[in-house]
Structure 1
Amino acid sequence: METINHTHEHTHPHPNYHPPNYKKPGKFNNLLNPLRRVVDGIEVTNNRIAHLICQTIPCCCPFEQQIKLFGRSFDIPALCKLNPLYDEFVGLRFRALSYLADICGEDVKKYIC
């Protein structure tokens, strides 16, 4: 039997590999970076705020909705990968869920799809 040795000539990951939260460089993303840092820096330390976050940020990507209020129509865009702050909002929701479950000992099943 023959032994096959495979060696990598480079130490970097595959050139087409990008981490899951990879953001392509560009002016638009650079403008949003301060806002991303603000959302990522929010610490959940209050159960009322944690409940509000879990109620406000949906557990799965809803479709675009149209809301009629005072005789006017408002279009609410879908909160999904097209939203440039999607990953940060999902992380904030996860931190709120973790706070409620781990610190407050609450049942968070009602917030999970």
Structure 2
Amino acid sequence: MASVNHTHIHPNYHPPNYQKSSGFDILNPLRRLVDSIQIKNYRLAHLICQIIPCCCPFEREIRLFGRNFHIPALCKLNPLYDNFVGLRFRALSFLSDECGEDVTKYIC
């Protein structure tokens, strides 16, 4: 079977750049810590998938005085949101690929 090489470039992809223009980011060590977590344990992967929700739990549609109000997803205001989503994805991938488990129960 012949191997396939991925040769085209994605114009909208930019690797994460944790350096801001000011040169100092107080959350950079925490971001790197979350990104460096390797999922090698079945129980840890399950715990991460249970703790980190698949969608923002704060987004709501409420009805008040006969009018509908939409409360937007506030999770994206978290400066570590992308890092936690990446961690959850790595845990789901570990459970699916390495353990052969059905992960549909963790997907919204």
**TM-score, length-scaled by structure 2:** 0.66
Q: Could you tell me whether the CA contact under 8 Å between 1:39 and 1:89 is conserved in 2?
A: yes
Task: Say whether residues 1:47 and 2:42 are aligned partners.
Answer: yes
Greater Rg by CA: 1
Task: Say whether residues 1:59 and 2:58 are aligned partners.
Answer: no
Q: Residue 100 of structure 2 corresponds to which residue in structure 1?
A: 105
- Between the two proteins, the alignment pairs up a number of residues equal to 84
- Consecutive unaligned residues of structure 1, counting only runs of 5 or more, are 1-12, 65-77
Q: Could you tell me whether the CA contact under 8 Å between 1:21 and 1:87 is conserved in 2?
A: no
Shift of 1:19: 3.8
Tell me the alpha carbon deviations over residues 49-76 of structure 1, each in whole angstroms, 9 at most, x when there is no partner. 0000000000011107xxxxxxxxxxxx
Q: Could you tell me whether the CA contact under 8 Å between 2:18 and 2:28 is conserved in 1?
A: no
Q: Could you tell me whether the CA contact under 8 Å between 1:45 and 1:99 is conserved in 2?
A: yes
Structure 1 vs Structure 2 CA RMSD: 2.6
CA spacing shift, 1:45–1:32, aligned 2, 3 Å: same
What fraction of aligned residue pairs are identical, expressed as a percent?
69
